[in-house]
Amino acid sequence: MLLSGVIILIDRLYYTDSFLTEFEARVVAISREAGNIAVTLDRSAFYPTSGGQVFDTGWLELPGAGDLQRIRVKEVAENEQTEDVLHMVEAGADALHPGTLVRGTVDAERRRDHMQQHSGQHVLSAAFEKLYGFLTVSFHMGDESCTIDLAGVAVTAKQLESAEKLANEVITEDRPVEIRFATPDEARAMGVRKIPPTEREQLRLIEVRDFDLNACGGTHVRSTGQIGAILLRKTEKVKQGVRVEFVCGLRAVRTARHDFETLTEAAAVFSTHIWEVPQQVRKSLDEIKSAQKAQHRLLEEVADLQAEHMLQVAADRSEYKLVVQFFPDRDLGFLKMLAQKLTRNGKAVALLSCGGSQPSLVFGQTPGLANDMGALMKQTVQQLGTRGGGNRDMAQGAAPDSTSAEQALLQAASALA
């Protein structure tokens, strides 16, 4: 997929040979582009970011010079107006001047990776189109994985599996991948699906023999076998259709290894085989749920007993019983449960607090009593410098620490009617 820049430019050496990674060229210009030093050459094998494929990196060397004259090319971009290829370089650029002869070296490993991803994308897109008529509307190559966007409402797991299988069969067949040039009319007659809007006379076409023909300016392998493999990953719904993530070649191996190591680690935790991990996880989640239910039942029983006891020993105010209690080791959930139990029968006011990892306060009263718990809580948290609130009968708030959670209760009790 690459619809911009499919015109033929003789100074772009990768147009006719994607495997050329060393070349000689002369410096044409040196400029500053957004804080970078950009070198323009009279010819270059460096690929500039365009059409979904990311840039090459590498080096510019001054022939005959020592190591110091090796200048790193950290990024390559295309000036869309002038069509110049801009080589963004790191330190050492002051040795370069218009006319300087340089030797360019493209990072061959990075280039090979990009060829595997891009050629893999052509094969995968053609597989989706042949099998289901899903058209690829965009391609993105990332550092970790690549994506294509398919125009369509949904892609099923079965369709993904079938497209992956067909693409890998085409890879196994090791079909030639060839660069062809044609006029837009010729390309149309050959059945090229998307003819890019261009005033140029010649288009660059990438053909996967008897499988796919596409206008593209990217770098590609010589035969599908060099793609190695295609591994489809997750899908996601996007505005223009469905985004399919994939990795090719050595990235596919790296990704599969990472998956395997992750699963192996998870399997070791459960002392099981990696294929049994999902059912072990489900089993553990079920066990956690039952344990939580059992714990909740027990806490209810504890709260019932505690409420009963607390009401028996509570101080008698004229209209209600007053319970004031700090729990160093309970949590907010327990306080709320206990406050409900203390105030649902008879007439009582409960001022409760806890320490622990989240020191909290709960104030509650039997509905109908004259106090306003929400207002009392607001007043309390204001003094503590925290947050909280509630309604007339039940309120909760936070305390900065255990000691203030305990001390705040006495002050709140003295403010009650």
195-254: contacts with Zn ion (CB under 5 A): 216, 218
Q: Cβ contacts of residue 335 below 8 Å, gap of 6+?
A: 327, 352, 353, 354, 360, 361, 362, 396
**In contact, 121 and 145? CB cutoff 8 Å:** no
Residue facing Zn ion at closest CB distance: 216
Q: Which is nearer to Zn ion, 138 or 162 (CB)?
A: 138
Least distance to Zn ion, CB of residue 220, Å: 8
Minimum gap (Å) between residue 217 Cβ and Zn ion: 7
Shortest reach from residue 163's CB to Zn ion, in Å: 17
Residues between 319 and 338 that touch Zn ion (CB under 5 A): none
Does 1 bind Zn ion (CB under 5 A)? Our answer is yes
Beta bridge partners of 53: 50
Helix (H, G, I), strand (E, B) or coil at 54: coil
CB 185 within 8 A of CB 200: no
Please give the sequence-ordered ranges of beta strands (E in DSSP) within 90-159, or none if there are none.
101-106, 135-141, 146-151
Shortest gap between Cβ of 52 and Zn ion (angstroms)? 7
**Between 2 and 41, whose beta carbon lies closer to Zn ion?**
2
| Residue 148 touching Zn ion (CB under 5 A) | no
CA gap 287, 301 in Å, rounded: 21
Q: Rounded to whole angstroms, what are the CA distances from 116 to 33, 124, 213, 327?
A: 30, 12, 17, 63
State which residue, 102 or 206, has the beta carbon closest to Zn ion.
206
Quote the distance between the C-alpha of residue 59 and its chain's center. Answer: 31
Task: Answer whether 208's CB lies under 8 Å from 175's CB.
Answer: yes
Quick one: which of 2, 76, 127, 244 contacts Zn ion (CB under 5 A)?
2
Other Cβ atoms closer than 10 A to 187? 24
Q: Is 48 in the site for Zn ion (CB under 5 A)?
A: no
Residue closer to Zn ion by CB (options 127, 412) is: 127
Q: Which residue has the tokens 């030797």?
A: 103
- Least Å from the CB of residue 223 to Zn ion: 16
Shortest CB 249 distance to Zn ion, Å: 16
By CB under 5 A, the residues from 86 to 115 that bind Zn ion are: none
Q: Residue 30 belongs to what H/E stretch? A: strand 22-33
User: What does the alpha-carbon distance between residue 139 and residue 48 come to, in Å, rounded to a whole number?
Assistant: 16
Q: Which is nearer to Zn ion, 13 or 146 (CB)?
A: 146
Nearer to Zn ion, 3 or 232 (CB): 3
- Total binding residues toward Zn ion, as defined by CB under 5 A: 4
- Contact between 354 and 360 under an 8 Å Cβ cutoff? The reply is yes
Residue 19 CA from chain centroid, whole number = 32
Residue 160 beta carbon to Zn ion: minimum distance, rounded to whole angstroms? 21
For residue 127, the tally of other CB atoms under 10 A from its CB is: 23
CB of residue 139 to Zn ion, shortest distance in Å: 7
**Using CA atoms, how far apart are residues 310 and 322, in angstroms rounded to an integer?**
9
Near Zn ion by CB under 5 A, which window of 2-10, 181-189, 311-319, 334-342?
2-10
**Partners of residue 36 on adjacent β-strands:** 33
Beta strands in 230-359 (DSSP E): 230-238, 241-248, 315-316, 321-327, 348-354
Backbone angles phi and psi of 107, in degrees to 5: -60, 105
Nearest distance, CB of residue 82 and Zn ion, angstroms: 23
Q: Strand 203-208 and strand 321-327: pairing?
A: unpaired
Work out how close the CB of 293 gets to Zn ion at its nearest, in angstroms, rounded to a whole number.
56
| Nearest residue (CB) to Zn ion, 146 versus 361 | 146
Residue (37 or 177) nearer to Zn ion, CB: 177
CB closer to Zn ion, 2 vs 227: 2
Output 208 or 337, the one with its CB closest to Zn ion. Answer: 208
The residues of the shown chain that bind Zn ion, judged by CB under 5 A, are 1-2, 216, 218
